[in-house]
Amino acid sequence: MSEKKKRRKKRPLLTLLIIVAVLVCAGFAMHIDYFDITGVAVIGNKDIPDEEIIRLSEIETGKSVFDVHPLIAQHRIKKNLYVEKVNVDRVLPNRVEIHITERSCTAQFVRGKNYVVTASDGMVIDIADQEQKTTLVEGITVKEAELKKDIKVKEEENFQRTMKFIRFTHRNDLYFKKLVMDDSRMEAYVYDELKCVGKYDDMVDVIKSGTLKNVIYDLYQKGIEKGTVNVYGNDYCSFTK
């Protein structure tokens, strides 16, 4: 066998040995103290505690940042149904950032001793034994509620109007603590003893124009937390103590 042929046979083996050596060195380098995680930042969350997000992610300080698998961590975090979107980023050399988008439009309904929380599309995201920090809806009878499935209610038409109203108020930067809906009128509670009362369409009109928001803000400025804001047609409101 010629020397030229021998050299050709040695080249693949040499290349393989170089690749293995590079991978071993890279693996060793990725696990030196310089890349150990010193902090995990949770960004964008308002209601879900940082600790809950980090716990679900299973990301631990002291471990190599390269041991974090973003897609796996994201999948774990989305077990919390209040999380709508999540993105996990490695920030070299030793930090991890978790960007959270929470479900913003939610409502809760009473069923027995429980509170059924749904997203804006009606999907059940929580069944809790205590009242949650989201709009409580009364006047809707819950027939069935199962996590990750659409809620089943008796008053379907009123339910759809209520959810549409909640989405509308969020878009217009308004939040109501409680809503009571029936066929003829609705009551929207700003506080326990301060409510807005009127027909559905009239309520939508005064919110769209900004009139109701201005009235509520004026009451807030004056420290008034009791009374009734009566909503009429033609974009008109009146307040009674």
pLDDT tens-digit map of 64-101: 999 999 999 999 999 999 999 999 999 999 999 999 99
In this predicted model, what pLDDT tens digit does every residue of 20-70 receive, in sequence order? 544 544 444 555 678 899 999 999 999 899 999 999 999 999 999 999 999
Nearest-angstrom CA–CA distance, 68 and 54: 12
Nearest-angstrom CA–CA distance, 178 and 185: 14
- Distance, C-alpha 240 to centroid of its chain: 36
Residue by residue, DSSP assigns 46-93 as SSS-HHHHHHHHT--TTSBGGG--HHHHHHHHTTSTTEEEEEEEEETT
**CA-derived radius of gyration, the chain:** 28
User: Which amino acid, 3?
Assistant: E
**In the predicted model, what is the mean pLDDT of residues 203-208?**
94
Nearest-angstrom CA–CA distance, 165 and 163: 5
pLDDT, averaged across the chain: 88
Nearest-angstrom CA–CA distance, 182 and 69: 49
- Cα 186–232–180 angle (5° rounding)? 5
Cβ partners under 8 Å of residue 164, min gap 6: none
Check if the beta carbon of residue 151 is closer than 8 Å to that of residue 141. no
Nearest-angstrom CA–CA distance, 228 and 1: 102
Check if the beta carbon of residue 154 is closer than 8 Å to that of residue 147. no
In this predicted model, what pLDDT tens digit does every residue of 122-146 receive, in sequence order? 999 999 999 998 999 999 999 999 9
Nearest-angstrom CA–CA distance, 71 and 101: 16
Residue by residue, DSSP assigns 200-241 as HHHHHHHHHHTHHHHHHHHHHHTT--EEEEEEETTTEEEEE-
Angle subtended by helix axes 70-77 and 50-57, to nearest 10? 130
Quote the pTM value: 0.78
Nearest-angstrom CA–CA distance, 14 and 12: 5
State the pLDDT at residue 241: 86
The token pair at 35 is 């890349």
